[in-house]
Structures are given as C-alpha cells and as structure tokens.
Copies of this chain bind each other. A is one copy, B any other.
Amino acid sequence: MRIAVDRESAIPIHVQIARAIREQILKGAIPRGGRLPPTRRLAESLGVNRSTVVQAYQTLWSEGLVEGHVGRGTAVRPAGTGSRTPGACPPWETLFVLEREEEDREVREFVRLIDREDLISLAAGLPAPDLYPMRDLREVLDDVLAREGKSLLHWCPVEGYGPLRERLAENVPGATAGDVFLLSGSTQGISLLTRVLVAPGDFVAVQSPTYLGALQMFRSAGARIASVPVGEEGIDLDMLESVLSRTRPKILYVIPSFQNPTGVTMGLETRKGLLEIASRHAVPVLEDDPYSLLRYEGEDVPTLRELDTRGHVLYLSTFSKILVPGFRVGWLTAPSPVIERLRTAKHLTDLFTNSVGQAVVSEFIERGFLDKHLAAVRDAYRKRRDAMVRALRRHAPQLAFTVPEGGYFVWATLPPGISGRELLREALTKRVSFIHGEVFCPDGTGRDRIRINFASHPPEIAEEGARRLGSALRALRRGGRRGRPEQEVSARPIV
C-alpha cells in the first residue's frame, strides 16, 4: 500500500492517511477481507506518531470501511454481506427504529378522534373558536407585517422573537429576556427538555393522573415513570418525598394550577413543601402552567417559579389555551445552562420558530388586547362551566365530580362497575366523546374516571353533549353491565 504524506499541506496527516486508504479500498485496490498494516509498522514507515495512524484507522472504522478484530488487526470490511432483500420497495418495517408500538398506536388513535366531524367532542383540550378575537388579531397581524414583515418572514433567532422575550420576562420575577425561550407550542418545550435531560432508563416523576402528551414523550425517550397521586392537595408530599429519594428523577413534572385532567389546584403550603423536597433531592421541577390565568373564582396562588429561590424550576407556559393554539406560541424560562442546551436542541429540530405568530402575540399584549380577551374568556368559560355542571347534574346524575375553580376540565367519577373506556365506546355511538381516565394514570388507576372539556363549545352544544353522555350511561346500565369486569382481551383503545 502506497501512501504519500505531505507535511507542508494544510490537511492534517491523519486525514491524508485515511483518505489514501479510503480511495484504495473503494477502488478495490485492497482485496476483500485484506488486512491493513499494523498501526505501529505503518507509523514507522511513514515517520509519524502511532496515534496519527490510529486516528486514521478510527475514521475508516466509523465510515464502515474497515473492521477490527482483537489479535487479528484491522481488515477491510467485506462488501455485500447484508441481508436485505434487494430490488423491491424497501422493507420499511425492518428499517424503523424499534419503538413502543402500543404507545404509538394510542397517539394515532387520539389524533383520529379529534378528526371526526360527526360528534360533539368534549375530548380535546382546545379552547373555544367562537371566542377567538378575530378582528383584533387581523388588525395586529396586518400592522406587524406592514411594520416589519420582511424581517419576520426572513428568519428568527433560535431562542425566539426578541420583543416577546422581553415582554414575557417582565411578568416573571427576577427573569430577564435571556431566561426566556420561545417554543413552537409548549409541547415542544417538553419534547426539547426531554431530549436534553432524559436518557433511556432515567426516571421522570409525574403526578398521577397527568397530561397524556407529557407521559408519551417521556416514555418515547425510554424514561421510567415514577408517579405520585394528585389527591386533594395537588400532590401527596409524603409520597413525593419517598419517590424522589428512591428514584432521583431527572425531572419532576407537575401542573400545579387547574391540573390536567383533574382540575385540582395545589395550595400555597403544598407548593412550598414540593419545592423544599425537590431542592433537598436536587431534582429539577418542570412546572407546566397553561391554565393559571383562567381562574373563574377564588384567590390566585403564586406559581412554583415565583416561589423558587434556588433555580430549581423550569417554568413552561403557552398562548394556546388563553388565546389561540394555531399560532404555536409556547415559552419557558430556565437557568442559562439549560437555555444553552435548548438552543442546540431546537436548532437540530426545526432551526427556528415562525416569528409572525410571536410578533402578533407580542403586539397583542402591548396593545392591551390580551387583558381584554382574558376578561372576556374568563367570563364566558365560567358560564360554560356552570352550564356544563347543570347539564351533567340533570342528564347524567350518576356522575360524581368536584367543580373546578378554573381551567377547562371536569374530572368525573363513574358509577360502580362501569369503566371509562366502556362508556366511551357507547358514547361514540351517541356521537359524543370525552377522554377515559386511565390514559392519564401511569399508576394504573383512573378506570372509573372520565375527563370532560367544558370550555370548547357554546352552552347549548355542551348541554347537548351532556344529554348524549347521559343517554350512553343509561344504555350501559340497561345493558346490565353493572358489576361486570371489563374483558382485558379487547385492550385496544378506541380513542
């Protein structure tokens, strides 16, 4: 094998050596299975350090051109040893990364549920389009495009549109614009933080029940889920202590206000206790806070981020629940080492977020339109909650639930012997949907619960939804299912 090394070249010697050997392998000049010279001998003959040759061989190994066997040195990797069937279309199923197929299917089924047009969906966690402030949004959109359209349509910093970062920082104690990171929806925040913090086999601690999307993201990263019951206080602190001390999770994921799906809000003392326990175990807290501005009665409670004095809280929020989901504007605050990692992860995921939506939200806040809109939706959602509660009491008196002080959801307990999944199957035939409780519960509870969104629809449609739900409940009881355990065989979720 002839290798010429040019010491005057700007190209490092190991690159020159790798390149020369690569060419000879690819041209077939080194026979199939032929061995490369031992690194020591080649280094001597070229008059270079042995480590230089080792580096060149490592490059060739990483490219798949050579393979190493202990005691036999480095040999050219034989061609044509793979086993894929050639010619026909690629055998996709053998090419995919192995994933949790069951989990995948559940996601797909949920997406399909949202797609169905023929039913009243009390399922999705979406706001009410009839309340969208279209006139104000169109006015703001055209104004920002006229003012800075070319720059908005050109590109956006990875960390987000500057003026909105500044505006958001103003509302977070002790934060500057540099602590704020904008997201393509808050889902992307959970996804990026998972990428940055969670390796397969790591623990993530969550409330049970909790937001399904977060569970799915943690699981798809190979996390082991440790859970703590929500209870009446939002989280059971004794169990939290026990779980954190045993599992040392990478993230404690909580929704302290108007929790999804239970509607429960953590009290001040519980929040302080949670922070004390998390900081004692050095566990970062991911506070997901999409709903706290949607309080319909009672007193505000400070966020964990506001109570945090030690930099343990990653605070995540979104405009999807209080304004519109379609602009995909979520945001988080985090300490600078985390922001730095997120910047890289975001760059490798989708480069940067559409800045038009961010600029509209920023200007919408600036003009006072958000405050006006929040007042309007709080008023409307409170009425919708009350209408839904009345309708459920009239049409589905078998359901037990606590009236939430804010947010989107009623979390209802079914009469004994009826499971949420079974009821959903029946309800779909009556053209109404909701989400059955067990999918929110990593600890296997929740089979006797359902989540009902009261905010999405005007009161008359919500009432009709409640009527259909009541009719599904009665049909199930007439069918004599009371007390009969569900057959585990048909475990495939319908939604």
Which A residues are within 8 Å of any B CB, using their own CB?
A: 7-12, 15, 18-19, 22, 25-28, 59, 62-65, 77-80, 82, 84-93, 95-99, 104, 107-108, 111, 114-115, 124, 126, 129-130, 132, 134, 137-138, 141-142, 145-146, 149-158, 184-185, 187-188, 191, 195-199, 203, 213, 216-217, 220, 224-227, 238-239, 242-243, 245-248, 250, 279-284, 310-312, 324-328, 335, 337-338, 340-341, 343-344, 347-357, 417-419, 422, 443-445, 447-448, 483, 485-486, 488
Contacts of A326 in B (CB 8 A): 152-156, 354-356
- Are A312 and B89 in touch, CB under 8 angstroms? yes
Assembly of this chain: how many copies? 2
Known: A280-B86, A355-B326. A79 touches B245 (CB 8 A): yes
Contacts of A419 in B (CB 8 A): 10
| Complex Cα spacing A88 to B309, Å | 10
A–B complex contacts, Cβ < 8 Å, 20 sampled: A8-B485, A10-B418, A19-B443, A27-B238, A63-B243, A64-B243, A80-B245, A84-B281, A86-B279, A86-B282, A92-B337, A95-B250, A104-B341, A134-B145, A134-B150, A141-B141, A152-B326, A184-B353, A184-B354, A354-B357
Known: A108-B340, A246-B65. A85 touches B282 (CB 8 A): yes
| Complex Cα spacing A91 to B282, Å | 8
- Are B157 and A26 in touch, CB under 8 angstroms? no
- Are A310 and B88 in touch, CB under 8 angstroms? yes
Contacts of A203 in B (CB 8 A): 64
Q: Which residue of B lies closest to A189 (CB)?
A: B350
- Are B351 and A354 in touch, CB under 8 angstroms? no
- Are B126 and A154 in touch, CB under 8 angstroms? yes
Q: Which residue of B lies closest to A77 (CB)?
A: B246
Q: Return A421 CB to nearest CB of chain B, in Å.
A: 9
| Complex Cα spacing A352 to B355, Å | 16
Q: Return A457 CB to nearest CB of chain B, in Å.
A: 13
Contacts of A149 in B (CB 8 A): 132, 134, 137-138
Contacts of A85 in B (CB 8 A): 282
- Are A348 and B157 in touch, CB under 8 angstroms? no
Known: A62-B225, A350-B191, A357-B354. A10 touches B104 (CB 8 A): no
List 18 additional contacts besides A64-B203, A95-B284, A328-B353; criterion CB under 8 Å: A7-B485, A11-B445, A11-B447, A19-B444, A59-B444, A62-B225, A63-B227, A63-B243, A65-B226, A77-B247, A79-B242, A84-B282, A89-B312, A91-B282, A92-B337, A132-B154, A328-B352, A354-B354
Q: Which residue of B lies closest to A128 (CB)?
A: B154
User: Which of A11, A197, A417 has most chain B Cβ within 10 Å?
Assistant: A11
Q: Which of B25, B27, B350 contacts A184 (CB 8 A)?
A: B350
Q: Which residue of B lies closest to A456 (CB)?
A: B154
Q: Return A290 CB to nearest CB of chain B, in Å.
A: 13
Known: A137-B153, A282-B84. A350 touches B188 (CB 8 A): yes
Q: Return A352 CB to nearest CB of chain B, in Å.
A: 8
- Are A486 and B152 in touch, CB under 8 angstroms? no
Contacts of A485 in B (CB 8 A): 7-10
- Are B325 and A64 in touch, CB under 8 angstroms? no
Q: Return A408 CB to nearest CB of chain B, in Å.
A: 14
Contacts of A351 in B (CB 8 A): 185, 187, 213
Contacts of A279 in B (CB 8 A): 86-87
Q: Which residue of B lies closest to A203 (CB)?
A: B64
Q: Which residue of B lies closest to A11 (CB)?
A: B447
Contacts of A280 in B (CB 8 A): 86-87
Contacts of A337 in B (CB 8 A): 92-93, 96
| Complex Cα spacing A326 to B350, Å | 12
**A-B complex: 8 closest residue pairs judged by Cβ atoms:** A64-B247, A153-B326, A15-B444, A79-B245, A89-B311, A84-B282, A82-B248, A153-B324
Q: Which residue of B lies closest to A82 (CB)?
A: B248
Contacts of A445 in B (CB 8 A): 11, 15, 19
| Complex Cα spacing A444 to B15, Å | 6
- Are B142 and A444 in touch, CB under 8 angstroms? no
Contacts of A238 in B (CB 8 A): 26-27
Q: Return A336 CB to nearest CB of chain B, in Å.
A: 9
- Are B63 and A224 in touch, CB under 8 angstroms? yes
